[in-house]
Structure 1
């Protein structure tokens, strides 16, 4: 059969990214303890297309992805996936992004009751032919924040809210990326208090009082997170977007920041 995609295109436009988006497949994500967690991933997978080709071969993206969906996955496996895409699709660059729910254990602060917290996570790999892969980890971390102004001006009480910090990190070439579990723990520690899916009465008392003793504006949370991320060994770049879902306003408080981390 005639290969229409490989026909010559005369318009002289190379396409930077072409491929598939919103494909869904199960994947096995490597965990900190050496095991893996099965997740359902939403996938965007693209390659560059030279100007002389009419189109890419969309079926090959799924052919590449399917075998990898049964193997525990982290940076080395993503790089191998991208290397295969470069070869099979005759491309100079390739990019894959997996978005998925990841679950971590949480233990209530007083009763010790175990529950499971879901985190929205992202793996993104970018690779050019002959170069090492650039890897980016993204995690949305929820926590509690309590307003310092409300605490200061009120005779009793203070308003608090559920907050989320959306963080993306990249590490220097040759440096291992942080685990999802460790990144989530680092970020949630910058809020007024962690959140827990399951709390008994004694836990709820502890959490609300802990938040009251640790009030923070969204600006405080962002700045403290910046300082914490700068200390990570090998980090090259990060992006933060912190949002407080306000309890006494019909809008949210928001702060964002990104930076490349200079190394001595």
Structure 2
């Protein structure tokens, strides 16, 4: 008996002739290598369906093309090749290809003072496209930090001053008396409020960039903010973190400006958009600031 040919429904003519901008799959599980780390990732893979007469694309071909990502470190060149594979497997059907990769990058971060260190996750997204033969890569990185409100710090200082007046009005004080008062719970009657905050960085890379500079960008962002959240700590590290917060009081506007200036100096970035979110501990809502920049053509 002759084997029956398996039907290819996608190759049949569409009931209605209409091109589609994006067709593919979202949330494909696969391992990828980023800066030498093997990470669990989710990929969104798609192409345009420019032939309005075709009923559909060959999704399995996109899926199989992703195997390249499991063998080598992610680079712009590798992403370009995978997108070209998408198009080569859809000749006459598609002119544009798209690939988004979502993962949690793991970086080991040292404590501020002690020899301890621990791992932090940084959610990242790589968005690559090949449209009309033009290749394009964008990165998104989330960086967590602590923000202490300048207003609450000023109000807390005022209350401490008032407590000092109440405790020592018309008294002659020695240095030891003041020092003891400052170290007592009676002296520090108020503290500023701070909150865990997030900077979401959306970056477009220059064409000449041959690697994905996650580590460098994260280091630049955390250095600009000065209060990156910590991993393993001892009391000396916690004290140093309190000092860093006290020396880096910032509203969301301050954080956005710091990041803008730092990212402008980072090599390989053509333009960026950033959003900082301070998850308020005083209010039930968030404080948010956004900023963007684009390098002027040479």
Is TM (by shorter chain) over 0.5?
yes
Matches of 2:95 and 2:40, distance apart in 1: 29
Give 1:260 shift.
2.6
**RMSD of aligned residue pairs (Cα, Å):** 1.6
Give 1:10 shift.
5.4
Give 1:191 shift.
2.4
Matches of 1:40 and 1:178, distance apart in 2: 17
Q: Does 1:107 align with 2:110?
A: yes
How many residue pairs align between the two structures?
A: 258
Q: Does 1:92 align with 2:126?
A: no
Q: Do the aligned partners of residues 224 and 263 (structure 1) sit closer, same or farther apart at CA in structure 2, a change above 3 Å counting?
A: farther
Residue 150 of structure 2, aligned match among 148, 151, 154: 148
Q: Show the counterpart of 1:60.
A: 61
Give 1:192 shift.
4.7
Residue 211 of structure 1, aligned match among 234, 239, 245: 245
Structure 1: unaligned runs, 5 residues or longer: none
SS at match of 1:85: helix
SS at match of 1:86: helix
- Which of the pair has more CA radius of gyration? 2
Give 1:63 shift.
1.0
SS at match of 2:45: strand
Matches of 1:178 and 1:98, distance apart in 2: 13
Matches of 1:217 and 1:120, distance apart in 2: 23
Q: Show the counterpart of 1:14.
A: 19
Q: How do 1:181-200 and structure 2 match up within 5 A?
A: 181-200=215-234
Give 1:211 shift.
0.8
Bigger fraction of residues in strand? 1
Q: Does 1:47 align with 2:50?
A: no
- Per the normalisation by structure 1, the TM-score is 0.92
- Per the normalisation by structure 2, the TM-score is 0.82
Matches of 1:16 and 1:110, distance apart in 2: 53
SS at match of 2:62: helix
Instruction: Spell out structure 1 runs of 4+ moving beyond 3 A.
Output: 175-178
Matches of 2:229 and 2:7, distance apart in 1: 58
Structure 2: unaligned runs, 5 residues or longer: 1-5, 158-189
Q: Show the counterpart of 2:171.
A: none
Contact kept in structure 2, 1:192 and 1:215, CA below 8 Å = no
